């Protein structure tokens, strides 16, 4: 099953069936994540995705210097962690869908180091970031764990301290 579903429609309409399909893909994925690329190409000026993450999904801390990013929680809950360049936690924001008592949408004007930790069994988010796609997180700073087991411990430690 694909972790990345690419859009080929000029007019894309998202309904419950499509969200359920992405959730199903995430549940089958070894990474516990699947995404629908709503844009057509990595060169598009707007990169827009619907992303499903399971509770065991690990999101590597990343950044997009000089690019804005917005994220809205559609389903479930997550913890957004914002870091400074040295790995110090600047902000922790518990997020949930509109109608919950949690923040449901963020916009970062210049995307700092950040990660997301799923707090519920499934989280679905709508993410929009300026394109074209550039992996500006390379090289990773030394405070970002280099392998999956170290990343798991790193994220677990953050999750425990947040409570």
Domain that holds residue 117: 4-162
Q: What is the pLDDT of residues 26-36, one digit of tens each?
A: 999 999 999 99
**Under a CB-based contact definition with an 8 Å cutoff, are residues 150 and 60 in contact?**
no
Give tens-digit pLDDT for 100-135: 999 999 998 887 899 999 999 999 999 999 888 776
The whole-number pLDDT of residue 64 equals: 81
pLDDT, residue 24, reads: 96
Q: How many C-beta neighbours within 10 Å does residue 6 have? A: 12
pLDDT of residue 136: 62
CA dist 108 and 129 (Å) reads: 9
**Residue 1 pLDDT more than 90?**
no
9 exposure class (CB count in 10 Å sphere: 0-12, 13-18, 19+): exposed
The total number of structural domains in the chain stands at 1
The string of pLDDT tens digits covering residues 43-92 is: 888 999 999 999 999 999 988 878 889 999 999 999 999 999 999 999 99
CATH number of the domain within which 66 lies:
2.60.120.10
What pLDDT score does 127 carry? 96
Residue 162: the pLDDT is 60
């Amino acid at each position: 099953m694909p972790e990345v579903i690419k859009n080929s429609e000029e007019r894309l309409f998202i309904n419950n069936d499509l969200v359920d399909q992405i959730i199903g893909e995430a549940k089958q994925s070894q990474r516990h994540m699947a995404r629908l690329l709503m844009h057509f190409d990595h060169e598009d000026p707007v990169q827009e995705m619907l992303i499903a993450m399971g509770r065991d999904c690990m999101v590597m801390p990343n950044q997009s210097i000089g690019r804005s990013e917005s994220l809205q929680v559609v389903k479930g809950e997550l913890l957004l962690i914002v870091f400074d360049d040295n790995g110090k936690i600047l902000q922790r924001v518990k997020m949930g869908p509109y109608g919950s008592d949690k923040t449901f949408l963020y916009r970062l004007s210049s995307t700092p180091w950040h990660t997301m930790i799923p707090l519920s069994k499934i989280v679905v988010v709508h993410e929009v970031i300026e394109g074209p796609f550039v992996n500006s997180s390379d090289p990773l700073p030394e405070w970002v764990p280099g392998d999956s087991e170290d990343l798991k411990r790193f994220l677990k430690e953050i999750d425990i301290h947040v409570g």
